[in-house]
């Protein structure tokens, strides 16, 4: 278990009387590309919200880089080196595309709540933000308010904000949802490149993306893990086929 990027032990989450996550144990190693799949309502996004500190857990423990996140607010979990994206695009719509990326960089580069640095003069920071834009393929849209971007561009920006600060654990919640075929291909290339040498955990519905990207796949059904292993193993797993893949393949 030691050296794990994300470790979950007996994690449970209830909303009122409804148990959404029912005892999840999961260990994600450093540098692993890990995908989580499962039918709608399985609790994938809820699990994301627990790991990133958006919701508190009801019982169990979660460790990020060996440190328990019990009681930590979301921004402190982020400072431990975990960054996430959202299923429903969550950007800063009135700020320019460039500003969006730069906001993703500020804390990581130590600017904190400074009101004495002028960002116009922060050359290293601005160059870094421009480099991220270039990787995203958004340099042409640099000064456009983010709210005016197309859907696929906003999804790319969402990933950009998430990875800009250089967090070593990246959580992507359905990064390709709602994208066309070619947009998805572009997004997969992008995810592959930005997660190079990092730990990636993603929720995804597109099986081509999942089997193309992931080293390890975990299947979550009704708040429980029914299988976890390399893609080939998951493909061959009967329980998974019944619960999930079967209906997709048919």
Partner 1 sequence: MSADTTSTAPLAAARAPALLRRHWLWLAAIVLALAIPWLFFDWSKGRHSGFALTMLSEIGLMSVFALSFNMLMGQTGLLSFGHAILFGLGGYCTAHTLNAAKAGLFWLPVELIPLAGGLGGLVFGAVFGYVVTKQRATAFAMITMGLGELVAACALMFMGFFGGEGGISTDRVTGQSLFGIEYSTPWQVYCLVVAWTVIATMLMRLQTQTPLGRMANAQRDNFERTQFVGYDPRMIRFYQFTLSGFFAGIGGALYVLVYEIVTFDTVAAAKSATALLAAYIGGAGSFLGPFLGTIVVVLLQSGVSLISNAWLLYVGVLFIVMVMFAPGGIMGIVARHEPIARMGRLGELAVPYARILPPGLLLVLGFVTLVELAQLATIGSAQNKSLAIGGQPIDPHNGLPWAIGAAMLVAGGLWMRREARVFRARWDALMEEAKARGLPV
Residues that bind partner 1 (CB under 8 A): 52, 73-75, 78-79, 83-84, 86, 90-95, 99, 102-104, 106-108, 111-120, 144-145, 148, 161-162, 164-165
Helix (H) or strand (E) holding 163: helix 151-164
Shortest Cβ distance from residue 156 to partner 1 (Å)?
A: 16
Shortest Cβ distance from residue 95 to partner 1 (Å)?
A: 6
Strand (E) positions, the chain? 4-15, 18-29, 33-37, 59-64, 67-68, 82-84, 169-173, 199-203, 216-221, 224-229
Shortest Cβ distance from residue 148 to partner 1 (Å)?
A: 6
Q: Which is nearer to partner 1, 163 or 216 (CB)?
A: 163
Q: Which is nearer to partner 1, 103 or 245 (CB)?
A: 103
- C-alpha–C-alpha distance, residues 113 and 145, integer Å: 23
- C-alpha–C-alpha distance, residues 109 and 87, integer Å: 26
Q: Which is nearer to partner 1, 152 or 226 (CB)?
A: 152
Q: Which is nearer to partner 1, 103 or 207 (CB)?
A: 103
Q: Which is nearer to partner 1, 73 or 230 (CB)?
A: 73
Q: Which is nearer to partner 1, 173 or 204 (CB)?
A: 173
Are the C-beta atoms of 223 and 19 separated by less than 8 Å?
yes
Shortest Cβ distance from residue 193 to partner 1 (Å)?
A: 20
The residue to which tokens 């919701």 are assigned: 55
Shortest Cβ distance from residue 136 to partner 1 (Å)?
A: 16
Q: Which pair of tokens denotes residue 142? A: 């640099």
Shortest Cβ distance from residue 130 to partner 1 (Å)?
A: 15
Contacts of 163 (CB under 8 A, 6+ apart): 83, 104, 132, 170, 194, 195
- C-alpha–C-alpha distance, residues 53 and 77, integer Å: 7
């Amino acid at each position: 278990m030691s050296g794990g990027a994300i470790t979950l032990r007996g994690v449970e989450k209830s909303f009122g009387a409804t148990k959404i996550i029912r005892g999840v144990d999961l260990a994600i190693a450093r540098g692993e590309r890990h995908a989580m799949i499962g039918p709608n309502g399985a609790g994938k996004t809820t699990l994301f919200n627990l790991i990133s500190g958006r919701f508190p857990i009801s019982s169990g423990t979660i460790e990020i880089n060996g440190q328990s996140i019990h009681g930590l607010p979301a921004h402190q979990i982020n400072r431990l080196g975990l960054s996430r994206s959202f299923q429903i695009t969550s950007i800063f719509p009135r700020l320019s595309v460039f500003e969006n990326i730069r906001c993703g960089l500020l804390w990581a580069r130590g600017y904190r709540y400074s009101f004495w640095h002028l960002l116009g003069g922060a050359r290293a920071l601005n160059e870094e933000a421009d480099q991220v834009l270039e990787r995203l393929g958004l340099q042409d849209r640099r000064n456009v308010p983010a709210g005016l971007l197309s859907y696929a561009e906003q999804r790319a920006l969402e990933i950009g904000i998430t990875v800009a600060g250089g967090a070593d654990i990246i959580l992507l919640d359905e990064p390709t949802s709602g994208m066309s075929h070619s947009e998805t291909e572009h997004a997969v290339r992008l995810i592959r490149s930005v997660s190079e040498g990092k730990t990636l955990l993603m929720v995804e519905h597109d099986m081509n993306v999942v089997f193309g990207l992931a080293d390890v796949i975990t299947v979550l059904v009704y708040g429980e893990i029914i299988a976890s292993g390399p893609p080939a193993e998951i493909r061959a797993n009967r329980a998974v086929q019944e619960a999930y893949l079967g209906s997709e393949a048919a």
